[in-house]
A and B are shown apart, each in its own frame.
Chain A
Amino acid sequence: GAGVSQSPSNKVTEKGKDVELRCDPISGHTALYWYRQSLGQGLEFLIYFQGNSAPDKSGLPSDRFSAERTGGSVSTLTIQRTQQEDSAVYLCASSGLSGGGAWDTQYFGPGTRLTVL
């Protein structure tokens, strides 16, 4: 079946512009996660959504970052007034009982590589 997809795959923007990154999770997965990975670094947790519960936003680095998940499916990560330090790969993952894996196995999308000039 279809995996997690993300768009765009690459995004180059100028400092100060807003960007939107999209994630389509595996169908039926109730949990959705956003992570950030800077060059040569580990994954930094940003936010997760679980069903209809309030999202855990504890990893968002500043109020310039926000995320939504509409209809329990697609999610959008928005970065306002981008800064050069926002340059990274933004990874989305989903988990849940559908898809054949264990409920707590995360399946990652290919990521969006964001470059802020």
Chain B
Amino acid sequence: RKEVEQDPGPFNVPEGATVAFNCTYSNSASQSFFWYRQDCRKEPKLLMSVYSSGNEDGRFTAQLNRASQYISLLIRDSKLSDSATYLCVVRTSGTYKYIFGTGTRLKVLA
């Protein structure tokens, strides 16, 4: 089983739609959680960190469920510019090692 698993997609959604991605992690000692965005042939960039209480940044909401060991990303009012691959990233307590999921591709359609 992979340490971090994501549905590869693609998720094809119309502009204005709400879309949600989940990511599961296997190590219960995981401590830090992130969503990164990667555009085609570009480097990953931090979208948002995921806090235990959940957090929101504009149209983006991230949630953490430690009991079920998953994190989620909700995108409201999707824009064409949201089309990208979204990477789930997990860091284990006591290490500086980050484990990346393979990413979920999102395509927002006009």
A residues with a Cβ closer than 8 A to B are 31, 33, 35, 41-43, 45, 48, 50, 56, 58, 91, 101-102, 104-111
Question: Could you tell me if A42 and B101 are in contact, using CB atoms closer than 8 angstroms?
Answer: yes
Some 17 contacts from A to B, beta carbons below 8 A apart, are A33-B98, A42-B103, A50-B96, A91-B43, A91-B44, A104-B91, A105-B34, A106-B44, A106-B46, A106-B98, A107-B46, A108-B43, A108-B44, A108-B45, A109-B43, A110-B43, A111-B43
Q: Which residues of B contact A56 (CB under 8 A)?
A: 95-97
Mark each residue of chain B from 24 to 48: 1 if its CB lies under 8 Å from any CB of chain A, else 0: 0000000010100000001111100
> Main SS of chain B's interface residues?
strand
CA distance A56 to B91 in the complex (A): 14
Extra contacts, 11 of them, besides A42-B102, A110-B42 (Cβ < 8 A), are A42-B103, A48-B96, A50-B96, A56-B97, A58-B97, A101-B46, A104-B91, A105-B34, A105-B49, A108-B44, A110-B43
Residue of B nearest to A59 (CB): B97
CA distance A110 to B100 in the complex (A): 17
B residues with a Cβ closer than 8 A to A are 32, 34, 42-46, 49, 87, 89, 91, 95-103
Q: Which residues of B contact A106 (CB under 8 A)?
A: 44, 46, 89, 98
CA distance A105 to B34 in the complex (A): 9
Residue of A nearest to B34 (CB): A105
Question: Could you tell me if A105 and B43 are in contact, using CB atoms closer than 8 angstroms?
Answer: no
Residue of B nearest to A31 (CB): B96
CA distance A31 to B98 in the complex (A): 12
Min CB–CB distance A29 → chain B (angstroms): 12
CA distance A35 to B43 in the complex (A): 11
Interface centre among B43, B91, B98, by most chain A C-beta atoms within 10 angstroms, is B43
